[in-house]
Chains A and B, each alone.
Chain A
Amino acid sequence: MVSKKVTLVNAQGFHMRPASVFAQAMAKYTSSVTIKFNGNDYNAKSLLNIIAACIKCGSEIELVCDGPDENDALAEAVQMIESGLGE
Chain B
Amino acid sequence: MLNGIGASEGIGIGRVMIIKEQTLEYTPKEVTDIEAELARFRGSVDKFCDNTMAQADAIRQSTGEKEAEILLGHIAIIRDPFMGGEIENLIKANQCAESAVEQICKMFIDMFSATGDDLTMQRAADVKDIRDGLLSILLGVEEVKISDAPAGTVLVCRELTPSMTAGIKKENIVGIITETGSKTSHSAILARALEIPAVLSVPNAVAQLSSGEQVIVDGDNGEVITAPDQAQIDEYSAKREAFLRERRELENYRGKATASADGTEYELFCNIGTPKDAVKAVDADGEGVGLFRTEFLFMDRSSLPTEDEQFDAYKQASLILKGKPLIIRTLDIGGDKEIPYLGLEKEENPFMGFRAIRYCLKNRDMFKSQIKAILRASAFGDIRIMFPLITAVEELREGKALVEEAKADLKASGIDFDENIQVSLNAKIGDLFDFDINWNTQATFDFENKSVSHHASSGGVGQAIRCIKK
Contact = CB atoms under 8 A, between A and B. Distances in A.
A interacts with B: yes
Interface of A: 11-13, 15-16, 20, 23, 27, 43, 45-49, 51-52, 54, 56-57
Contact of A47 (B76, B120, B302): B76
Interface of B: 73, 76-77, 80-83, 108, 111-112, 115, 117, 119-120, 123, 127, 301-306
A23 B80 contact: yes
A12 B81 CA distance: 23
B211 to A, nearest CB: 38
Nearest to A49: B82
Nearest to A16: B73
- Nearest first, the 3 A-B pairs at minimum CB distance are A46-B82, A11-B303, A54-B115
Contacts of A47: 76-77, 80, 82
A56 B81 CA distance: 23
Considering residues B77, B80, B119, which has the most beta carbons from chain A within 10 angstroms of its beta carbon? B80
A48 B73 contact: no
A13 B302 contact: yes
A23 B82 CA distance: 10
B80 A54 contact: no
A23 B111 CA distance: 18
Contact of B81 (A11, A15, A27, A57): A27
B48 to A, nearest CB: 16
Tell me whether chain B's interface is mostly helix, strand or loop, or mixed.
helix
A48 B112 CA distance: 9
B116 to A, nearest CB: 9
Contacts of B108: 48, 52
B230 to A, nearest CB: 54
Given A51-B112, A52-B112, A54-B117, A12 B303 contact: yes
A46 B115 contact: no
A21 to B, nearest CB: 10
Nearest to A15: B119
A45 B80 CA distance: 8
Contacts of B301: 11-12
A56 B82 contact: no
B82 A11 contact: no
B115 A52 contact: yes
23 contacts: A11-B305, A11-B306, A12-B302, A12-B303, A13-B302, A16-B73, A16-B76, A45-B81, A46-B80, A46-B81, A47-B77, A47-B82, A48-B82, A48-B108, A48-B127, A49-B82, A51-B120, A51-B123, A52-B108, A52-B112, A54-B120, A56-B302, A57-B303
Contacts of B77: 47-48
A16 to B, nearest CB: 6
Given A45-B82, A52-B112, A52-B120, 15 more contacts: A11-B303, A12-B119, A12-B303, A13-B302, A15-B120, A16-B73, A20-B73, A45-B81, A46-B83, A47-B76, A47-B80, A47-B82, A48-B80, A48-B127, A57-B302
| Residue of B76, B112, B306 contacting most chain A CB atoms (<10 Å) | B76
Nearest to B73: A16
A79 to B, nearest CB: 22
A51 B113 CA distance: 11
A51 B107 CA distance: 13
Contacts of B123: 16, 51
Contacts of A27: 81
Nearest to B117: A54
Contacts of A20: 73, 76
A67 B111 CA distance: 29
B321 to A, nearest CB: 28
Contacts of A11: 301-306
A43 B303 CA distance: 25
Nearest to A47: B80
A44 B302 CA distance: 21
B67 to A, nearest CB: 15
Nearest to B116: A54
